[in-house]
Amino acid sequence: MLPLSPMKNKILFRLDDFIVEEKVSLPSLEAGPYTVYSIKKRGWNTVDAVRQLSQAWMINAADCAFGGKKDRHGETVQYITIKGGPAQCLELKNILVEFKGYTNRPMGSDAIEGNLFMTVVRNLTPEEASEALENAQGVAATGFVNYFDDQRFGGHDLSRGFLAEWLLKGHLNSALRAYLASSHPDDKKEEKERKAFLNAHWKDWQACLGVAKTSFEKRVFARLVNDPKGLHRLIEEIPSQDFHMSASVYQSFLWNEIVRRLLVTRKWASRFYKGMAGDYVFFEKINGRDYEYLKNMTLHHPADKVQMPDKILGKIYEKILAEREVQVALFGKLKTAKVFFKPTPRRVLVKPQETVFRVEDDEQNTDRKKIVLEFFLPRGSYATMFLKRIFASPLI
């Protein structure tokens, strides 16, 4: 357990002060089977925004392709393709779709080069603004630890554990409970109350059936009433996309934990920021040799037969799995074929590029300052993690 300072984390930005624009590489043609659009949105996640435009144009949502799912926070600009889509623009509530041309392939994550961000952090004292600017300039030079940020875990109820981890352990009852009875931050009051009821009455399948809402829940609890031991067959009926997401979330958690412990073990951690699935720790000043070690490190997502970069990381990984009572060999031997763990490589450090930082008077708060931050990050890195590094608190 880290000796963390009780200092409260600063609220970094408001939605109005956060803009992200996707940078993509797609072949540009005068004519082609796929029509390219930019979609500018506020208050919508990508899936819901695409659903809105597909309904407005009365086209099949399956013909729409995008590279990444951006959440509803802030103003975002990203690119989509529609197979045989109209050469038109469209304006809906908080959604602007602009026709950009044609290409010969659907949009996908491989076409994303990265994202350009602009954000403003307000209501700072002159001292805080000066320190933030100095930190930002330092991080631009050295980079920051490329953790998965809280968005990765936002739909996960930590109190119920990780679905993928329960499956690795063979605890099917706990896996099903994590899937059906986990409460998420965005759940409405009625949903939270219903899931609290499911937790309180778990294994009383008749009672759970009485409050079941979705067709999947009704089918699951009805079958458990008649066959309480048929958990494996029910697990297999969980949608594949949910299985894949659960595996990805668990791998992200383990990746973060390996890197966090590396910094703590080597006594490089000097700052921290409170996180949803574990605190984020950062280095501030380390010697050249240690910095080169981190800068050149690529760590794969934990998976079957994955190799850690060296013995130090190998021991850290083994210790984490032992604490969680998970055997590494199980990653390739799950009883369900729907879960698979990809050993995707991820750089431990990432450097912001195209940086423009400046401190100005905050026109919204008298006698206070704001810092404006513009920067580019490669695909898969989090702008919010860059901000958390800048405003991280010192470790005691």
Residues 277-305: tens digit of each pLDDT: 899 999 998 999 999 999 999 999 999 88
Q: What is the CA radius of gyration of the chain?
A: 23
Average pLDDT, the chain: 90
- Give the number of other Cβ atoms within 10 Å of residue 60's Cβ: 10
- What percent of the chain has pLDDT above 90? 73
pLDDT above 60 (res 342) = yes
- Do 301 and 255 form a contact (C-beta atoms < 8 A)? yes
Where do the structural domains in the chain lie, given as residue ranges?
27-106, 171-241
User: Six-digit token pair at 295?
Assistant: 């800068």
Question: What is the average pLDDT across 228-232?
Answer: 85
- Res. 73: pLDDT tops 70: yes
Q: In the prediction, which pLDDT does 2 show? A: 40
Band of pLDDT at residue 1, cut at 50, 70 and 90:
very low
Which residues are bridge partners to 90 per DSSP? Answer: 97
**Across 109-123, 218-232, 314-328, 331-345, least confident range:** 331-345
Average pLDDT over residues 235-244: 87
What is the predicted pLDDT for the residue at 107? 96
- Please give the Cα distance from 359 to 380 (Å, whole number): 28
pLDDT band for position 332 (50/70/90)?
A: confident
Task: Determine the pLDDT at residue 6.
Answer: 37
C-alpha distances in Å from residue 281, one per residue of 6, 223, 267, 389, 390: 15, 46, 11, 8, 12
Q: Give the pLDDT confidence score for residue 156 in this predicted structure.
A: 72
pLDDT at 313 over 60: yes
Helix (H, G, I), strand (E, B) or coil at 368: coil
> Residue 334: its pLDDT value, please?
66
- The answer to whether the CB of 258 falls within 8 A of the CB of 299 is yes
Number of Cα atoms under 13 Å in the Cβ half of residue 227: 8
Predicted local confidence at residue 245, as pLDDT: 87
Which pLDDT does position 335 carry in this prediction?
Answer: 60
Residue for token pair 């407005």:
56
Model pLDDT, residue 231: 85
**pLDDT tens per residue, range 11-70:** 555 656 889 999 999 999 999 999 999 999 998 989 999 999 999 999 999 999 999 888
Give the span between the Cα atoms of 236 and 221, in whole angstroms: 15
Residues of the chain with pLDDT > 70: what percent? 94
Total residue count of the chain as it appears in this document: 396
Closest by CA to 78, choosing from 115, 30, 28, 32, is 115
Higher pLDDT, 7 or 242: 242
Report pLDDT for 16. 67
**What CATH architecture applies to the domain 27-106?**
2-Layer Sandwich (3.30)
Least confident of 289-293, 338-342, 377-381, 385-389: 338-342
Q: Is the pLDDT of residue 330 over 90?
A: no
Are 341 and 251 in contact, with CB atoms under 8 Å apart? yes
Determine the residue type at 340: F
Packing angle, helices 172-180 and 189-200, rounded to 10: 160
pLDDT of residue 137: 97
Amino acid at 13: F
Q: Are 132 and 140 in contact (CB under 8 A)?
A: no
Predicted confidence at residue 208, as pLDDT, reads 95
Burial grade of 85 (CB within 10 A; 0-12, 13-18, 19 or more): buried
> What pLDDT is recorded for position 236?
85
Q: Tell me the H-state helices in the chain.
A: 46-57, 126-142, 163-169, 172-180, 189-200, 205-211, 215-226, 231-235, 240-265, 288-295, 311-323, 383-390
